Structure formats: C-alpha cells, structure tokens
C-alpha cells in the first residue's frame, strides 16, 4: 500500500511537471531534432580524425571504396581541365571592311574641312580688300556664307571625331593649307599608310578580350570552312596591335612631316578587334570537359589496412578516412531501416547533452526555466551556433576554430548570468566536439576561451568592458593553442594558422555579441546589465525630474541604493539591479511630493489637516502612481517590479496608529485594508533586499543620537517585523542570507558596514572665541 502511494505521488508530480512546462519541453525537443539534422551519420563519425591525431584501433576497409581527391586537388584538376579547353574565336572580315570604309570617309571629311577653312580664309581676305569697292556687298555675303559653312563643318567634325582636338597645334597645322586643298593630294598617301597598317594587324588577328583573360594555351579560330587551332601567342591583343602599329608607323612616316604627330592617333582610333570571342560555345565546352574530371584518384580494397593502431594520422590517411565516411553516408541513404536506428541513437545522445544545460536551469534557475520565452531565446542561440558549426566544419570545411562558441557564452552571460553562460558553453562545446567525431582539442580550447570571456564580463558595469574582453579572448587563445600544439608536437605553421583563425574569432565575438544583445533585448524584452547601466544615468528624464520635484526622496533613494547594492553583493545577488531598483522605487511620490516628510521643508504638515485614512490613501497611492510613471517612461518590468514590492502588503503604520488612537484603541472599528499597501510581496532576492533596506534606512534616520548598537538593534527589529508579517514568505531569501545582509559591526560587507560609514561619530571641534 505504501509503495502504491509513493508511485502515485511520483506520477502525479511528473504529470504536473509536464503540464506546467509543456511549452518548454516542446521547445527543447524541437531543438534536439533540429540539431540532429545537422549531424553526420554515426558510423561515419567512427572514422573522424584530424591530422596528427593518434589512432585508437586499427582501421580496416569494410568494403572496396574510391579514394576521393581533396577539394584542393579536385579544384586544381578542374582548373587544369578548364585550361586545356581552347578558347574559340570567330574571325570577322566584315569588321575590317567596315573600318576601311570609315577610314576613307574620315580622310574625305578631313579634305572637306580643309576646303571649308581655306574658302573662309580666302573670302575673309577678299572682304577686307574690297571693303570700299562696289563689289563689297557681294564679298561680305560670300564671307558670311563661308563662315557659316566652316562652323557647320567644324561642328560635324568635332561630333563625328571626338578624339581630334582642333585647337591642338599639330591638328591645326594639318587642317590648314595656303593652297587650294583640291590641288593638295597628301591626304591620299596618308590614308593609304593608315589603311595598310590596319590591314596588316587585321591579317595577323586582334583578340576581342585581353590576352591574360584567355586561360587556355591554345585557341581555336573559325575562319572559312576549316577552323585552325594554334597557340594564343600567334595573335595580338589590342594593346600589342597598337605597339606593332606604332613600330610600323614610325618606319613609314618621316618624323619631320606634319602628319607624323597625328597619324598614330588615327590608327588607334580605327584599329578594332576582328577575332570575336565565342563565350557561349567556349563555356559550354569547358563545362562538358570539367564534368569528365574524375572525383577519385584510386581505390582502397576490401579488408585492406588503412592505418594501424597507435599510428599518427597523415594527410594521405585522413583523405582515405574522409572518403570512407563519405562512402558510408552515401550507402546509408539507400538503407532506411538502418538509418532509423542510427538516427534514434543520435537523438538520444543529443538529448543527453542538451539536457545537461536545461536540467541545470530547472534545478538552479527555475525563475528562468519557468519563462518559455527565455527557453526559446536560449534554444535559438544554441541552434544558431550549431548551424554555423555545421556550415563551417561540414559544408565549407573551414577550420573548426571559426565556430563562434564564445559568442553564445558572452551573450547568455550578459542576458542572464555567468552560470548560464558557462553551462551553455559546456553543452555547445560537447555538441560540436561530437559533430567533429570526439574532437577533444576543440572542446578543451572552446571551454577555456569562453570561460575566460565569461569571467571578464560576469559583472558588466560599462559597455567598453565588452570590448576589452576581446584582448582576454585573444590571450586565452594564444595560451591554449600553443599548449595543444606543443603537447601534440604540431608544426609551428599549423599552430600559427590556428592562432590566426582564433584571433579573428576573438576579435569578432564581442562585436557580434553587442549586436545580438540589442536584438534580443528588443525582441524578447530582456533587460541586460547594459540597459541597467544606462538607467543609472542622472541625466535620464525621469531621474532629472525626481531630483527637481522630490529632492528629499531622491537622496533617500541614493542611500537605499548604496545599502541594497552592498547587501546584494554580500549574498551574491544582482547588485546592479538592486541599485537601479532603489533609484526608481519611490518615483510615484513626485505626484504628491508635499505629503511625504522627506520633501517637507516648511513647518506645516499637510497631513495635520486631513484624516488618517485619507493620509494613508495618499501615501499608498505613490505605488500606483509610480507604476503609471514607469509605464509612461518605458521602464523595464524587472525594474518597475520594485515599485509595488518594496512595500509588499505592509501597513502604513504611523497613520494606522493615529486612526487606532482616534477610536480608543478598538481595532474592530478600523478597516485595516485601508492602511495596507496593495502588494504584491517581494518574489526575488533583489526585491526582498530593497524592502528591508528601504525600511531600515527610513527607521535609522529617526534614531536620535544614533550609534552602531542602536542601528544594529533597529536592523534586527525591522527584519523580524517583516518576517513576522510574512512579507518575505514569497521571497527566496534564507535566514543565513538575512544574516549576511545585515553584516557585522566590524565586517566589510552587508548593511552595517555602509550604515557605519554614513552615521559614524565625528570629533566635535570647539568654536573660535
């Protein structure tokens, strides 16, 4: 009967757990399934080694399989095959014919320009000679007509031949003649020289594309019915054609000739490629040729010894093992039954590793585990890291040290705390190590580097601290990589390469983390230490208003902040959150500041003119007013929770006693609920600390001639009252932690240490006579 009750009780607890955490369990299960899809097959992992690893047992080929080429060798073979395919060009004689006609038209235009310029010069001279002659009007008309004609010819010349600068002295001399141009036939010989030089180059052949972009050693030229295949150097690039043309031009034209300075420009302008690149056909031939490149470079026979036990892995051996793993994965695709069992084992193994992290959350951070959004956030970060690991290691086959393990550790440490950051690093490092086939080097280096990062930002107090962590990560990388390299007798080239990769990773980690923090704060409404630090700025609108409108309350909040931070530090609670909560816990007093004693500077007390119940109502209202202000100014919920919880459901004791005195001490005539704050009670260590500190700070200020013994007695009294009134019943503070919060008279932690500094006795100096 007893066993049945125990079994029933156990089952009811398990059912209740699943009902309360259904979303969390669903998210965690989905995470395991998604990660499992990124993992290679389990059988292939048996042969997962790295260069310089030592084999644990002999590895014998289970069947005959091809040895795959490395990606580097395969790419080189494809490049060589691509290079062997001749580039195809089509010789286009029509281009040469068209360009020769254009040269003829150019020189005819030159002659027309010469003629127009000569006519203008002649009519201009005639106009000035016959200015007072009876035929002056006719000469004037001819002058204007020739001037207009020259302008039109000049404009057409400039538009058609922009390479010509008419103001240039060489071109100006060539286009200006003293004799009638029709009698001057030099342009014909010049034209023939230009045409002959261009013909020579076209007969040699000019490539349409640069010579260095032709990868093949030989080219195929389609000309006529039978194409030719020859060396690519047998033809000219456009630049080489210009050089040859220059050499030939110098040999044919006299240097003292006016044409010498301009003829080469004409050749360059009209010399165009006549070997047209057939890109489509060339690339098609290259693709067909590359497809024929074999992926393997030999075979390993069945039962052949690949490597014996306790032998160092070399590059040749690692390639054989990688080929075997690829062959196994390929064969498993056709064996669905075996795949199911292999996949089931993979899921179970991954569930064990992932459960390490989430079990820790359930046992030690139940407040975080209870929020399914936080579980979703952590799962996304872990999945993101595993996806990058799969891409970097399995897909791109880059160095495993590019996997951003430290990014997840830094992000979760800032979002939550160092314990969560460290445990996530343990889980992700083990998962990536398994993905690589039990790579212990990676697990050790990732754990060490990430732990150093977590340690450096475990108490974040300024944004620059995030970036100084960069140097700590780099230093940790240097230490662990050199240690592993020396232990495994790796070459210094390998050690330096790993260091370069890890240095890049360490440099980028804080930058990526900074971006992720901003994104997660916005999407998941998580308040990080970076936001809390910003909330401490006295220039923030709400704090500036508090200083201006409730100076007494503001000073009280600062003192409470000092107390709360010291108490949180004493028990390992969130000290920064305690200080921020203290700064904002009494902002509701701004609405009716004059009704609170710390803000009353006149002798009159407004409560003297109203009833105790009304006074209590006004005092109690600062909680709701504070919540409204917190919403208006956008305070995070984790901070605004301090506003109602710092009073919990305590009584407004002063006015309750006034009301009780007014009815002769008969408690039955008083509605106690009118004097109690609405709550809720503190539900975290931080809000519980603030409740105690706020009450003690106010009570200690009321002590006449305070000394350390009176203060200690007051602390004991206030804590006892809160416990007796069950105000700490929902708060996880223990009696041991309450003692640490209080501190000791001669200690350096806790509340007494701070109050001793505030209320220490000074020597009284005598007045001057």
pLDDT at residue 172 above 80? no
Where does the pLDDT of residue 584 fall: very low under 50, low under 70, confident under 90, or very high at 90 and above?
very high
pLDDT at residue 166 above 70? no
pLDDT at position 265: 87
Which residue has better confidence, 680 or 151? Answer: 680
Six token digits for residue 387: 């996806």
Residue 419 exposure: Cα atoms within 13 Å on the Cβ side: 13
Beta bridge partners of 219: 87, 230
b/e map 742-761, b = 16+ CB within 10 Å: bbeeeeebbbbbbbbeebee
Beta bridge partners of 249: none
pLDDT at position 151: 78
pLDDT at position 565: 94
Across the range 236-248, mean pLDDT stands at 92
Among 702, 704, 699, 703, which residue's Cα sits nearest to residue 717?
699
pLDDT at position 355: 93
Indicate the burial class of 310 (C-beta count within 10 angstroms; 0-12, 13-18, 19 or more).
exposed
Can you give the length of the chain in residues?
769
pLDDT at residue 313 above 90? no
Mean pLDDT of the chain: 86
Across the range 630-659, mean pLDDT stands at 92
pLDDT at position 477: 94
The lowest-confidence range among 136-145, 207-216, 368-377 is 136-145
Among 523, 563, 605, which residue's Cα sits nearest to residue 756?
563
Across the range 325-347, mean pLDDT stands at 70
Among 689, 676, 677, 699, which residue's Cα sits nearest to residue 728?
689
Where does the pLDDT of residue 4 fall: very low under 50, low under 70, confident under 90, or very high at 90 and above?
low
Where does the pLDDT of residue 769 fall: very low under 50, low under 70, confident under 90, or very high at 90 and above?
very low
Across the range 274-299, mean pLDDT stands at 91
Which element (helix H / strand E) includes 362? helix 336-364
> Rounded to an integer, what distance in angstroms lies between the CA atom of residue 639 and that of residue 579?
10
Across the range 612-630, mean pLDDT stands at 92
pLDDT at residue 516 above 80? yes
Strands 228-231 and 218-222: antiparallel
At 222, give phi and psi (nearest 5°): -90, 110
pLDDT at position 695: 92
pLDDT at position 30: 94
pLDDT at residue 763 above 50? no
Across the range 543-561, mean pLDDT stands at 92
Where does the pLDDT of residue 727 fall: very low under 50, low under 70, confident under 90, or very high at 90 and above?
very high
For 8-50, the pLDDT digits (tens) are 655 666 677 677 788 999 999 999 999 988 887 655 566 667 7
Sheet of 275-277: strand order equals 228-231, 218-222, 87-91, 275-277
pLDDT at position 387: 95
Please tell me whether residue 476 adopts helix, strand or coil conformation: helix
The lowest-confidence range among 320-334, 500-514, 548-562, 724-738 is 320-334
Instruction: Mention every residue, 6+ apart, whose C-beta is less than 8 A from residue 554.
Output: 543, 546, 547
The lowest-confidence range among 34-43, 197-206, 580-589 is 34-43
């Amino acid at each position: 009967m007893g066993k049945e009750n125990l079994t029933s009780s156990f089952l009811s607890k398990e059912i209740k757990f699943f009902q309360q955490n259904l979303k969390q369990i669903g998210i965690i299960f989905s995470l395991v399934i998604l990660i499992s899809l990124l993992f290679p097959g389990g059988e292939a992992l048996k042969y997962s080694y790295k260069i310089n690893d030592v084999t644990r047992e002999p590895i014998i080929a289970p069947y005959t399989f091809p040895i795959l080429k490395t990606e580097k060798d395969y790419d080189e073979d494809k490049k060589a095959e691509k290079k062997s395919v001749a580039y195809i060009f089509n010789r286009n004689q029509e281009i040469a014919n068209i360009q020769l006609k254009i040269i003829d038209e150019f020189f005819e235009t030159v002659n027309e320009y010469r003629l127009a310029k000569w006519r203008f010069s002649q009519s201009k001279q005639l106009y000035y000679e016959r200015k007072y002659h009876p035929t002056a009007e006719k000469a004037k008309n001819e002058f204007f007509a020739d001037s207009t004609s020259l302008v039109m010819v000049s404009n057409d010349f400039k538009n058609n031949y922009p390479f010509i600068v008419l103001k240039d002295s060489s071109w100006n001399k060539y286009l200006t003649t003293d004799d009638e141009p029709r009698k001057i036939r030099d342009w014909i010989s010049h034209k023939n020289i230009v045409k002959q030089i261009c013909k020579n180059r076209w007969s040699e052949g000019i490539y349409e594309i640069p010579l260095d972009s032709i990868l093949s050693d030989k080219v195929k030229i389609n000309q006529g019915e039978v194409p030719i295949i020859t060396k690519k150097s047998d033809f000219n690039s456009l630049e080489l054609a210009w050089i040859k043309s220059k050499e030939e031009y110098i040999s044919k034209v006299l240097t003292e000739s006016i044409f010498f300075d301009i003829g080469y420009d004409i050749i360059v302008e009209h010399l165009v490629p006549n070997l047209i690149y057939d890109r489509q056909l060339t690339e098609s031939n290259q693709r067909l040729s590359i497809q024929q490149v074999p992926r393997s470079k030999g075979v390993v026979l069945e039962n052949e010894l690949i490597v014996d036990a306790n032998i160092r892995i070399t590059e040749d051996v690692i390639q054989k093992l990688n080929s075997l793993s690829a062959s196994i994965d390929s064969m498993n695709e056709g064996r669905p039954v075996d795949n199911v069992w292999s996949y089931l084992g993979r899921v179970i193994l991954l569930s064990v590793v992932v459960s390490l992290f989430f079990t820790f959350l359930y046992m030690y951070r139940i407040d975080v585990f209870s929020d399914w959004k936080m579980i979703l956030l952590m799962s996304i970060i872990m999945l993101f890291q595993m996806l990058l690991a799969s891409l970097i290691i399995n897909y791109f086959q880059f160095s495993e040290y590019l996997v951003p393990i430290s990014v997840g550790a830094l992000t979760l440490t800032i979002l939550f705390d160092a314990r969560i950051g460290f445990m996530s690093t343990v889980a992700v490092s083990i998962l990536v190590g398994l993905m690589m086939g039990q790579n212990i080097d990676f697990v050790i280096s990732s754990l060490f580097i990430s732990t150093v990062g977590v340690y450096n930002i475990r108490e974040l107090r300024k944004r620059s601290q995030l970036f100084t962590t960069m140097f700590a990560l780099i230093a940790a990388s240097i230490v662990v990589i050199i240690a592993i390299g020396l232990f495994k007798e790796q070459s210094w080239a390998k050690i330096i390469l790993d260091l370069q990769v890890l240095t890049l990773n360490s440099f980028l980690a804080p930058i990526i983390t900074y971006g992720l923090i901003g994104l997660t704060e916005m999407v998941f409404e998580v308040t990080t230490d970076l936001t809390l630090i910003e909330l401490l700025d006295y220039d923030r609108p709400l704090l500036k208003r508090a200083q201006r409108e409730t100076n007494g309350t503001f000073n009280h909040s600062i003192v409470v902040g000092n107390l709360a931070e010291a108490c949180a530090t004493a028990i390992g609670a969130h000290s920064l959150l305690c200080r921020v909560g203290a700064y904002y816990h009494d902002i509701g007093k701004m609405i009716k500041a004059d009704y609170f004693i710390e803000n009353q500077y006149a002798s009159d007390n407004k409560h003297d003119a109203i009833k105790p119940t009304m006074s209590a109502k006004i005092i109690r209202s600062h909680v709701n007013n504070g919540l409204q202000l917190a919403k208006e100014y956008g305070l995070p919920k984790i901070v605004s929770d301090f506003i109602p919880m710092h009073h919990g459901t305590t009584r407004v004791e002063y006015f309750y006693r006034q009301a009780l005195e007014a009815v002769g001490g008969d408690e039955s005539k008083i509605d106690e609920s009118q004097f109690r704050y609405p709550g809720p009670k503190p539900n975290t260590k931080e809000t519980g600390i603030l409740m105690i500190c706020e009450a003690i700070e106010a009570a200690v200020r009321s002590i006449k001639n305070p000394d350390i013994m009176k203060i200690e007695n007051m602390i004991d009294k206030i804590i006892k009252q809160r416990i007796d009134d069950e105000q700490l019943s929902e708060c996880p503070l223990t009696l041991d932690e309450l003692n640490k919060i209080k501190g000791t008279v001669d200690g350096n932690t806790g509340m007494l240490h701070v109050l001793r500094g505030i209320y220490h006795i000074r020597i009284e100096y005598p007045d001057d006579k």
